[in-house]
Amino acid sequence: MVSCGHLISVCLTRFTLIVSNLVPSFSYRLIFVSISLCSLCALVMLSLCSFKSGKVVIVLSGRYAGRKAIVVKASDEGNAEKKYGHALVAGIDRYPKRIFKAMKKSKQDKKTKIKPFVKSLNYNHIMPTRYSVDFDLKKEDVKTSPDAMKATKKALKVKFEKAFKEQKDPKGDRKAAGVSYFYQKLRF
């Protein structure tokens, strides 16, 4: 399977060689054309990269920009309300802080609190990562109606905190690596 980043670099390299052979003296045109091609490759990349349930994504815009989330349900074709491809995601708004062995149990519990969020996002506003998690988040568990949102967030909080405390060693298992990546705050 071809990775999305590899596809973009191959397309840009081929296109740059073609344009540089045609117009060697106009380098600014080359830059402009390669930027427009990059956006075209990004659209191709979005169609190739799948947003499956359990995939870890990064939110790119909006209130939760820079936060990591898990895809609960993906809708490629859209529906009656939203006619574009979108995904229902559940993520972490406030990440757990670092804890040490010397800390008291009460302080460790306080520092490992997580604040979740639930949102339906356009595919253009999320970026898939190579990681997946083995949480059993189901569409039935994650409700988006305003009256059920509070109960959904409480249930997610319990589930996320439990999974955070029961993490496995990420070196051996691929899903465990995805879980440890999900709980690390994105530094930017």
Rounded mean pLDDT, 17-22: 40
Q: Are residues 20 and 82 in the same domain?
A: no
Q: Is residue 188 part of a domain?
A: no
Residues 172 and 114 in one domain: yes
Give how far Cα 167 sits from Cα of 19, 60, 177, 180, Å.
50, 26, 9, 7
Average pLDDT over residues 115-129: 94
Residues 80 and 171 in one domain: yes
pLDDT at 60 over 70: yes
27 or 143: which carries more pLDDT confidence?
Answer: 143
| CB of 182 closer than 8 Å to CB of 133 | yes
Structural domain includes residue 143: yes
**CA 75/CA 42 separation, integer angstroms:** 19
pTM: 0.70
Average pLDDT over every residue of 143-156: 85
Considering the domain architecture, whether residues 35 and 64 belong to the same structural domain is answered as no
Residue 67 shares a structural domain with residue 115:
yes
pLDDT at 114 over 60: yes
Is the per-residue pLDDT at 147 higher than 90? no
Do 120 and 39 have their domain in common?
Answer: no
Q: Is 44 helix (H, G, I), strand (E, B) or coil?
A: helix
Q: Are residues 84 and 61 in the same domain?
A: yes
Quick one: 84 and 162 in the same domain? yes
Query: Does 84 map to a domain?
Result: yes
Q: Does 65 share its domain with 140?
A: yes
Among 18, 12, 17, residue whose Cα is nearest residue 36: 12
Do residue 44 and residue 127 come from a single domain?
Answer: no
The answer to whether residue 187 is domain-embedded is no
Per-residue pLDDT averaged across 15-41, rounded?
A: 41
The answer to whether position 66 is within a domain reads yes
| pLDDT higher than 90, residue 44 | no
- Structure confidence at residue 148 as a pLDDT band (50, 70, 90): confident
> In this predicted structure, what is the pLDDT of residue 75?
84
- Residue 166's domain comprises 55-182
Digit-coded pLDDT (tens) for 63-82: 999 999 999 988 888 777 88
For residue 27, the model assigns a pLDDT of: 39
pLDDT of residue 33: 37
Pair (42, 76) in one structural domain? no
Is residue 62 domain-shared with residue 155, that is, in the same domain? Answer: yes
Q: How many domains does the chain have?
A: 2
Specify if 109 maps to a domain: yes
pLDDT recorded at residue 49: 58
Average pLDDT over residues 28-46: 43
Dist CA 136 CA 139 (whole Å): 10
In the chain, % of residues over pLDDT 90: 35
Question: Would you say how long the chain is, in residues?
Answer: 188
- Mean pLDDT score of the chain: 77
